[in-house]
Amino acid sequence: MKRSEINAIIKDFESKLNEFKFALPPFLSFTPEEWASKGHEYDEIRDNALGWDVTDYGEGHFDTLGLSLITIRNGNVHNAKYTKTYAEKIMMLREGQVSPNHFHWNKMEDIINRGGGNLVFRLWNATKDEGLADTDVEICQDGRRYTVPAGSEIVLKPGESLSLYPYYYHEFYIQPGTGYAIIGEVSMCNDDNTDNRFYQPLGRFPTIEEDEPPYRLLCNEYPAAKD
């Protein structure tokens, strides 16, 4: 992805969140120059990958295979220094984009449609060899439990949520004609480097072409703490 594209996506995301009156923590407005001066008091942000995240899954087709998100809080399963056992994200998905089919080995999460368009999920149980099972999937949607055939479409309107368990393959996209959605995630600690199992092998972070200076640093770009 070009840096100019990432910058434009982040600015659009900020604008949409302002429309929803969703206020962000101060660190999410730090410029790259400000980050260069920050000391160890911000290590939790660096170590736990809090902040802006724009991904095309390494495929270079953000408009069809992509997601923009912000990790607002997170623990760290690899560092006992951080004792939070939970994480929170806010995401933006545009019509035409797909968040591709994947599961988590460890993480349980709730995905919430916070507003905008309708969000469509398709779920499968994973087989023992991590394929797609053809068995019915148990759904927990806002406290209601029911089963659906594998791969069925489940539509979440604004305000509705879905619980996703380990080894639940899931993909999601916007229902055509409903625009974009602002999506919340409340989950166990998140580690995107070790806990994503994509059905089709994909990357996680984009390769960036630096055609202009960054507007915001992504969560994997912070400089080392200034001593």
**What pLDDT does 204 receive?**
82
Q: What is the mean pLDDT of residues 70-99?
A: 96
Q: What residues contact residue 210 under an 8 Å CB cut-off, 6+ apart?
A: 3
Asked if pLDDT for residue 203 goes beyond 90, the answer is no
Asked if pLDDT for residue 227 goes beyond 90, the answer is no
Q: What is the mean pLDDT of residues 191-220?
A: 93
**191, 190, 197, 203: which is closest to 130 by C-alpha?**
197
**What pLDDT does 190 receive?**
86
Q: What is the mean pLDDT of residues 1-23?
A: 97
- Position of tokens 């070009």? 2
Least confident of 68-72, 78-82, 102-106, 213-217: 78-82
> Does a structural domain hold residue 211?
no
> Does a structural domain hold residue 163?
yes
Across all residues in the chain, what is the average pLDDT?
96
Euclidean distance between the first and final Cα of the chain, in Å? 32
Q: What is the mean pLDDT of residues 184-203?
A: 92
**What pLDDT does 143 receive?**
94
Q: What is the mean pLDDT of residues 179-197?
A: 94
Q: What is the mean pLDDT of residues 158-169?
A: 98
> Does a structural domain hold residue 41?
yes
> Does a structural domain hold residue 217?
no
> Does a structural domain hold residue 167?
yes
Q: What residues contact residue 153 under an 8 Å CB cut-off, 6+ apart?
A: 120, 121, 122
Asked if pLDDT for residue 205 goes beyond 90, the answer is no
Q: What is the mean pLDDT of residues 200-212?
A: 92
**What pLDDT does 5 receive?**
97
User: How many domains does the structure of the chain reveal?
Assistant: 1
> Does a structural domain hold residue 221?
no
DSSP state string for 122-151: EEEEBPTTSSB--S-EEEEETTEEEEE-TT
**What pLDDT does 114 receive?**
97
Q: What is the CATH number of the domain that holds 136?
A: 2.60.120.10
Q: What residues contact residue 155 under an 8 Å CB cut-off, 6+ apart?
A: 118, 119, 120, 175
* Phi, psi dihedrals of residue 119, rounded to the nearest 5°: -105, 130
> Does a structural domain hold residue 215?
no
> 102: which 2 tokens?
């994947």
What residue numbers bound the domain in which 127 lies? Answer: 3-198
Share of the chain above pLDDT 70, in %: 100
CB atoms inside a 10 Å sphere around CB 198: 15
> Does a structural domain hold residue 177?
yes
Q: What is the mean pLDDT of residues 34-46?
A: 97
CB atoms inside a 10 Å sphere around CB 74: 25
pLDDT digits (tens, 9 = 90+) for 109-133: 999 999 999 999 999 999 999 999 9
- pLDDT band, very low/low/confident/very high, at 37 (cuts 50, 70, 90): very high
